[in-house]
Structure 1
Amino acid sequence: MMESFFHKLKSLDAYPKINEDFYRRTFSGGVITLVSSLAMLLLFFSEFRLYLHSVTETKLLVDTSRGETLRINFDVTFPAIPCSFLSLDAVDISGEQHLDIRHDIFKKRIDSSGKELEVKKDVIGAPKIEKPLQRHGGRLEHNEQYCGSCYGAEKSDDDCCNTCEDVREAYRTKGWALTNVDLIDQCKREGFIEKIKSEDGEGCQIHGSLEVNKVAGNFHFSPGKSFHQSNIDILNVLASPKDKYNISHKVNKLTFGDHFPGMVNPLDGVQWGHERPYGMYQYFIKVVPTIYTNTRGYTIQSNQYSVTEHLRVSELIHSDSHFGVFFFYDFSPIKVTYKEEHISFLHFLTNICAVIGGIFAVAGIVDSFIYHGKKRLKKQM
């Protein structure tokens, strides 16, 4: 019974063996065998390397997300604008405005060579005025609680401006320009003028992050307070403020969302120098929502972007002049997904079999062609 089974199994052999007496080995056959073996080995390691590394699958989808927020990370250096002169504002098409943003924003004072001088601090020591001006116009008397004057910019009789910033904010709200800062008791007490003058000739590196709505908008860096308030008081503190309009800058980093492997930010390291005193440098950015998923299934929601640039030059400065560095951003309706995957083991085996079998078959054809060609040449001779 077993012998019959083995006999039938033997008849299914698709690889019949030839008696060794009929073998004929040739020099050309040995060379072809060596070359084909090296080719098989080379292609095997190539396939094995591809198997160990992941491949990225890219898809384009319609972005249907809504009601989300976007984190913008930035690091920009202004070599000719002191930190006290530099402000950051953000506006979007929904009408939301954030003026003179300070939350999660950090400034570093730098010299003309870009070396850090000290960490920016908003409070400095200065001798106090013995009798500061009160809200009602008189001077502070003994045991009287201080309520600083807003110098005509009060919204109501109960308003108090106890700091230099309070006075300047009250003037901005009114739309007035506060040009005589040196006459304000609060600014004198805080040493505001001395602080501004001490930063003359310095630059500023500003970095941090913004949390904005996922709608089109812009954020911008400008000398002095926001132009929305029609106030250029801080620019008029020094006698020669011309240099303070120099908006030369370097974008050290700008990202829209978290970093992911392979992410490219076209503005990183971009530097631009401005020779004229006034100008408005604009970056128009198209943000593309991106989802990255690694081989372990970890997903990162982020964004990529493309950018174009434009410079608007102004020869004179007015109360409504717009100057600074502006980043206008809008969102693409298309979302890009990157998914990293490993080649399956079965696919790897299939490729290996195809490599070995294909080279073996081609080598056999070449060997047969050479062998029979030699035989025919010998007969003709």
Structure 2
Amino acid sequence: MFVTSPSDDAQERITVRISIVVHSMNCQYLGVDIQDDMGRHEVGHVQDVVKTPVSDGCRFKAKFSINKVPGNFHIATHSSKEKPSHGNMKHTVEYLSFGDQLPQAVEDEVPGSFNALKERTSEERSDEMLTHDYFLKIVPSKLEFLSGKAYTPYQYTYAYRNYRGLHAPAIWFRFDLSPITVSYVEKRKPFYHFLTMFCAIIGGTFTVASIIDSMIFTTHSYFKKAEIGKLG
């Protein structure tokens, strides 16, 4: 059983993990840029970035931190010295998560959208020069389990649009943070709940037994009267 309640969150930065397949773009052109309202503007972040060729495209994996202010990060060709011959950014987001990485079993058990973009593929369009925009609303969360394990992941919801822009196409993730934290606390059911259930089961058993006993007695009396000719 989980109970939700608002609480405060004092962490200074949020870890982002992303894996995205850009289906028609060579790895050499792709990079991740990070911007926020505190003045951060990082083009071509390289730490903890892994790019793997996939057929004609690229699987782009990255892990980085963002400040707790509105901002964005985007997968683009802006940091590449050599520009590609096309701008097709059709993609599949394999996963995008914020904060602590949850074990799959925990993610499946706890309600919430901790990986809302999982396996989302962008729309098919004939216009390859499309920019893709995801607008994310991030909600801090805390999970506490009876086992003593605790996690601080972030849930998020998203809205999506695409358009033909004036600049090189990109995949944008624009984020804003909720001021409220949601806490999930696993609790044992109180002992009186067990007693109530136990009494309900016992009471139900006696009720059914009484009905059956009454039916047997009535049937027996009927046949007894029939044997001695007292029916009617």
Per the normalisation by structure 1, the TM-score is 0.52
In the other structure, the counterpart of 2:36 is 92
SS in 2 for 1:99: strand
Offset at 1:343? Answer: 3.2
Show CA shifts across 1:49-98 (max 9, x none).
xxxxxxx222131x533462100100011121111211210111222222
Looking at structure 1, the residues matched to 178 and 107 of structure 2 have their Cα atoms a distance apart, in angstroms, of 20
In the other structure, the counterpart of 2:4 is 59
Show CA shifts across 1:334-374 (max 9, x none).
32221223335564354223312332134314533664587
In the other structure, the counterpart of 1:234 is 82
Looking at structure 2, the residues matched to 328 and 105 of structure 1 have their Cα atoms a distance apart, in angstroms, of 20
Aligned to 2:92, which of 250, 254, 263?
250
Relative distance call for 1:306 and 1:67 in structure 2 (3 A) is same
Indicate conservation of the 8 Å contact 1:246/1:274, yes or no: no
In the other structure, the counterpart of 2:173 is 327
Offset at 1:111? Answer: 1.9
Looking at structure 1, the residues matched to 126 and 99 of structure 2 have their Cα atoms a distance apart, in angstroms, of 33
In the other structure, the counterpart of 1:106 is 50
Relative distance call for 1:368 and 1:64 in structure 2 (3 A) is same
In the other structure, the counterpart of 2:58 is 204
Runs of at least 5 residues in structure 1 that lack an aligned partner in the other structure: 1-55, 113-202, 227-232
Indicate conservation of the 8 Å contact 1:90/1:219, yes or no: yes
Looking at structure 2, the residues matched to 102 and 86 of structure 1 have their Cα atoms a distance apart, in angstroms, of 11
What CA RMSD, in Å, does the superposition of the two structures yield over aligned residues?
2.6
SS in 2 for 1:363: helix
Indicate conservation of the 8 Å contact 2:5/2:184, yes or no: no
Looking at structure 2, the residues matched to 224 and 98 of structure 1 have their Cα atoms a distance apart, in angstroms, of 11
Offset at 1:282? Answer: 0.6
Indicate conservation of the 8 Å contact 2:74/2:172, yes or no: yes
Runs of at least 5 residues in structure 2 that lack an aligned partner in the other structure: none
Show CA shifts across 1:253-300 (max 9, x none).
110122331354121111124431312101111111111111122211
Number of residue pairs matched by the alignment = 218
Relative distance call for 1:361 and 1:86 in structure 2 (3 A) is same
- Counterpart check, 1:312 vs 2:160: no
In the other structure, the counterpart of 1:296 is 147
Relative distance call for 1:325 and 1:91 in structure 2 (3 A) is same
Relative distance call for 1:98 and 1:380 in structure 2 (3 A) is farther
Identity within the alignment, %: 28
Indicate conservation of the 8 Å contact 1:290/1:304, yes or no: yes
Looking at structure 1, the residues matched to 30 and 145 of structure 2 have their Cα atoms a distance apart, in angstroms, of 40
Structure 2: which amino acid aligns with 1:303? Y
Relative distance call for 1:87 and 1:259 in structure 2 (3 A) is closer
Looking at structure 1, the residues matched to 11 and 193 of structure 2 have their Cα atoms a distance apart, in angstroms, of 42
Aligned to 1:218, which of 49, 72, 78?
72
Show CA shifts across 1:155-197 (max 9, x none).
xxxxxxxxxxxxxxxxxxxxxxxxxxxxxxxxxxxxxxxxxxx
Structure 2: which amino acid aligns with 1:105? V
Offset at 1:204? Answer: 1.5
SS in 1 for 2:127: coil
Per the normalisation by structure 2, the TM-score is 0.82
Indicate conservation of the 8 Å contact 2:93/2:118, yes or no: yes
Aligned to 1:266, which of 107, 116, 123?
116
Looking at structure 1, the residues matched to 192 and 141 of structure 2 have their Cα atoms a distance apart, in angstroms, of 31
